[in-house]
Structure 1
């Protein structure tokens, strides 16, 4: 009864339902006994064939009954002669199966052997208990294989670099992998069961299941960024049942890179040195997909950067020196409403205090000795309708902090020596590798300016906290340095990459670029081995100062969330007495997901 409940033919796939048919498990062309033969003939045949029943057929080979060893013994005990003729009259109580019947329809029958007949009711086979057991075993094996395939598919979905989402015919999300989750900031558990339009910006996937029209390589703007996507309808037995959406690139910039690569490789375009102004313009058009890294840590920062770019709020980017804070600032500018304006960078730690005001706000002609004729525009004027990036903002003099606060509040500024104010329409992005709260406590940074700048905080994690990205970064910068110096392609040995992964990288990506550049230029061999690294990374570790960065509120919240999740997993395992399948059910997750969490949190099993 349990097996019948488990195996409802209507719920089976086409291949599984056919596998269960009697014709695949019966013994064909069985031995039969004819009407007119004797009980002795039947007994001798059963003994010779080692069977305990025989189909009875008539002169035209039609099935008319079954004689069993039990019936044979019963007849002899009742005094019937062994020469008694077998007739159809005495064998009316029997059952038979058709070739397309399921073996499970025979499982409940109280017979050890059941004849199988064709459409004309002629015997074509015999189904035994052993045959049924073989069918059971094969089917259970298929179920296990299917479960294993589902686990493998789940792992593939979770490990895929591309974002993958699956919707049903109503546009409701059925599957949502980790890559898409990291990109959108919506967890898999929150996404599944919701309409796709509630989770993914500007999606047409719900229309794909209505029109059944596949779309490949189309542009879709997601999280303020143009993405290349596929939309593929899913068919089952001629019926449209859903659709798959895929992010095949992290961004349209990847397409441009491929195009440029094709130009270099196949068109042999001569390289021409670009003017400095063109290089500066290209440098300012940094996009988030150009920031190398796929780890959950850096993906979360990218997601927050996309969200912050939509607003006009001031952004404070924190993190250790060399983590790429300016790259994030340029990326936010590029996808923000201010992208048509200029990106103006100000290094607050490199400008003399006496010149700070004139650099930021400009000066009028004759404002001071040596002032340029006609005056000079300040950074805020140059960045009109654009972005001002205040790097190393913690080094800004206290007096300038007061003036900057006034500009942020009033949206107006005045040139040095001027009498008229001009309107400031520029977004402010600040960055620092210092602990600004500590600077506020020390009286070195204004508290009100801190809160004005820290409306949205982005903490860029150090390289040692996202080691998953180290091999990708090494490959990227190795290729870039080789092209920069026009050298043959080089590679790192697996042992060298492993050493880099375990290195602390106190100087972060800036240190990595320095080390890679020195290795490429000083190591002659095409493969850079582990023994080549020692003197370079040892020197770096001795000279590079360690900068402490207090975790951001968002990072602290993520740590608390991970700790809570670990406690829930441990509690579920304890309640399930170690049964992982039951624990997964208690948590409401797939068993494969549970295994991943056990590995993630190093929970012994």
Structure 2
């Protein structure tokens, strides 16, 4: 039976406004009670949801469905039946928007539908959401008088088993759920080393490396369990770790199954596969695959999910290497055109004279060397799908005008063609440049800018979300070890702390490149500070070189830079400021020329 917990008198926790559900709830995904089982199952699968609330026509929640229930309905061959026949009210409560998180914790459920005064669904909460919210709350609190009370209630209200250790591996918190599973009381566990309490625990390794692990298999009392291990950082040092024992969860179970399959394949085929025999898989990217739980990353993913449901044109901005194409692919995956193709176009890599034929295609005989039968352009190839215009700021002005016409009329004509084609493709653009300043400078059309910038998703640089770095390092070290068939490697917490201090001008692309070098070149299983590149270690010069060598090298580099700047200025003068012709004269790509103009701060000549 649904426990209908509506708002009562607020408990005084000192900062009730910060603990309000209104601040922490997430936007709801829901289905109506007349939705078919098939549609509900597809929505659960596509969005990797653990449950979906069901509402009536007045948006009032009536219960929920889960993947397990949907599987039973599909096995009963009831794919077209209404979900109202399978609604459940187990492990589910209705709470008022003005309630406190602390009030919700007192309920013995894991899923919560948040309603307004008219009992209409306006938000969702789960136990995991609440744990994250309260962790963030305690982290930001200026006054600490209630933190111990809140932490105790979090641990005892969590459905999962939770153990907290300090920097020496001594158990400091051990909740009742973990106690029930292990048979060790909290009183007996607290104060002992974690290896004496939990079988096969890797929390000491987490303390050494500072790297989080999620959804990994650990055998506890002979049972294969799913665990998360999360380091606790303070002042660039690991001061503890949290171990979370997951008793159930659809996503985690699928990951276990995949790992077991992979292990089985390795046992049956111990000989490494060659590059030519590796199976090529279709590249699919979802927003959930974008690594990071920081507030800025979570906000961007939330915005991307929201705009994906519409056909609005999206402009993704951010520095090079921040993962703009990953967001574009994630939006495509959640959009109505996800079954269509995703066509990526790098506008900075297409020669100017080929732009039109690449984007719009050409008819047979349109020019010398034209392919027999003609060739469809990128817009035609993206029919019923998504076309991703990367580095849109590099597009020539002439092509900008033609692109604007396509966006307005939804029609294209091939080069040398006699008739137009209607197009039905979603457009997502991306750039690492400031288009607004380019508009002011006359390098980008104002009307095209406003046509593209319906919804902007700015991706923050890695230096502004350093809390995502441990998860990124953990993921890519494991991924790169598998790719290069290397033994598993880990990074020390001291080395990881330097990773978090470094500014990463190349963002995630630079981080992956650095890790790739370390995986290939470091023979040890542990990557320490002494293995890191000089830039990350923060050293101004290599210790093995004498001062006069550094001076000579610096002088040579300075002379080389000055000569390069002079050559670029001469080329720009000779071509009357035409950057395309200047790049051709210098024998470099136009994008490279723009980068060097920015590097040497070459203003108008």
Q: TM-score, normalised by structure 2?
A: 0.52
Q: CA deviation at 1:452?
A: 0.4
Q: Do 2:63 and 2:89's aligned partners in 1 also have CA atoms closer than 8 Å?
A: no
- Structure 1 SS opposite 2:344: strand
Alignment of 1:155-166 (within 5 A): none
Q: Distance in 1 between matches of 2:308 and 2:62?
A: 34
Alignment of 1:244-263 (within 5 A): 244-245=110-111, 246=126, 256-263=254-261
Alignment of 1:541-560 (within 5 A): none
- Are 1:505 and 2:504 an aligned pair? yes
Summarize the Cα distance change of 1:530–1:546 in structure 2 as closer, same or farther, 3 Å threshold. Answer: farther
Q: Do 1:349 and 1:395's aligned partners in 2 also have CA atoms closer than 8 Å?
A: yes
Q: Distance in 2 between matches of 1:541 and 1:384?
A: 53
1:189 to 1, 5, 20: 20
Q: Distance in 2 between matches of 1:537 and 1:505?
A: 9
Aligned partner of 2:298 in structure 1 is 299
- Structure 2 SS opposite 1:345: strand
- Structure 1 SS opposite 2:20: helix
Q: CA deviation at 1:523?
A: 1.1
Per-residue CA shift, 1:301-321, capped at 9, x if unaligned? 000000010110000000010
Per-residue CA shift, 1:339-379, capped at 9, x if unaligned? 01100000000000111000001000110000101000100
Q: Do 1:478 and 1:516's aligned partners in 2 also have CA atoms closer than 8 Å?
A: yes
Structure 2: stretches of 5+ with no match in the other structure: 9-17, 32-51, 72-87, 94-105, 112-125, 129-213, 216-248, 542-556, 558-591, 599-605
Q: CA deviation at 1:258?
A: 3.5
Q: CA deviation at 1:262?
A: 1.7
- Structure 2 SS opposite 1:440: helix
Q: CA deviation at 1:390?
A: 0.2
Q: Distance in 2 between matches of 1:168 and 1:547?
A: 65
Alignment of 1:70-219 (within 5 A): 169-170=3-4, 189=20, 191=22, 199-202=28-31, 203-204=52-53
Q: CA deviation at 1:531?
A: 1.5
Q: Do 1:361 and 1:380's aligned partners in 2 also have CA atoms closer than 8 Å?
A: yes
Q: Distance in 1 between matches of 2:539 and 2:254?
A: 35
- Structure 2 SS opposite 1:305: helix
Summarize the Cα distance change of 1:266–1:451 in structure 2 as closer, same or farther, 3 Å threshold. Answer: same
Aligned partner of 1:48 in structure 2 is none
Summarize the Cα distance change of 1:199–1:473 in structure 2 as closer, same or farther, 3 Å threshold. Answer: same
Q: CA deviation at 1:459?
A: 0.6
Q: Distance in 2 between matches of 1:510 and 1:541?
A: 23
Summarize the Cα distance change of 1:480–1:172 in structure 2 as closer, same or farther, 3 Å threshold. Answer: farther
- Structure 2 SS opposite 1:282: coil
Q: CA deviation at 1:265?
A: 1.4
Summarize the Cα distance change of 1:357–1:252 in structure 2 as closer, same or farther, 3 Å threshold. Answer: farther
Summarize the Cα distance change of 1:489–1:463 in structure 2 as closer, same or farther, 3 Å threshold. Answer: same
Aligned partner of 1:492 in structure 2 is 491
Summarize the Cα distance change of 1:289–1:276 in structure 2 as closer, same or farther, 3 Å threshold. Answer: farther
Q: Do 2:397 and 2:445's aligned partners in 1 also have CA atoms closer than 8 Å?
A: yes
Q: Distance in 2 between matches of 1:277 and 1:344?
A: 24
Q: CA deviation at 1:216?
A: 7.5
Q: Do 1:314 and 1:453's aligned partners in 2 also have CA atoms closer than 8 Å?
A: yes
Summarize the Cα distance change of 1:444–1:546 in structure 2 as closer, same or farther, 3 Å threshold. Answer: closer
Query: Which moved further from structure 2: 528-537 or 287-296?
Result: 528-537
Query: Which moved further from structure 2: 329-338 or 535-544?
Result: 535-544
Q: Distance in 2 between matches of 1:432 and 1:419?
A: 33
Summarize the Cα distance change of 1:514–1:361 in structure 2 as closer, same or farther, 3 Å threshold. Answer: same
Q: Do 1:169 and 1:210's aligned partners in 2 also have CA atoms closer than 8 Å?
A: no
Q: CA deviation at 1:232?
A: 1.8
Q: Distance in 2 between matches of 1:305 and 1:452?
A: 18
Structure 1: stretches of 5+ with no match in the other structure: 1-166, 175-186, 221-228, 235-239, 549-605
- Structure 2 SS opposite 1:294: coil
Aligned partner of 2:405 in structure 1 is 406
Q: Distance in 2 between matches of 1:193 and 1:496?
A: 34
Q: Distance in 2 between matches of 1:325 and 1:376?
A: 29
Summarize the Cα distance change of 1:272–1:413 in structure 2 as closer, same or farther, 3 Å threshold. Answer: farther
- Structure 1 SS opposite 2:436: helix
- Structure 2 SS opposite 1:243: coil
Q: Do 2:30 and 2:54's aligned partners in 1 also have CA atoms closer than 8 Å?
A: no
Summarize the Cα distance change of 1:277–1:173 in structure 2 as closer, same or farther, 3 Å threshold. Answer: farther
Aligned partner of 1:323 in structure 2 is 322
Aligned partner of 2:336 in structure 1 is 337
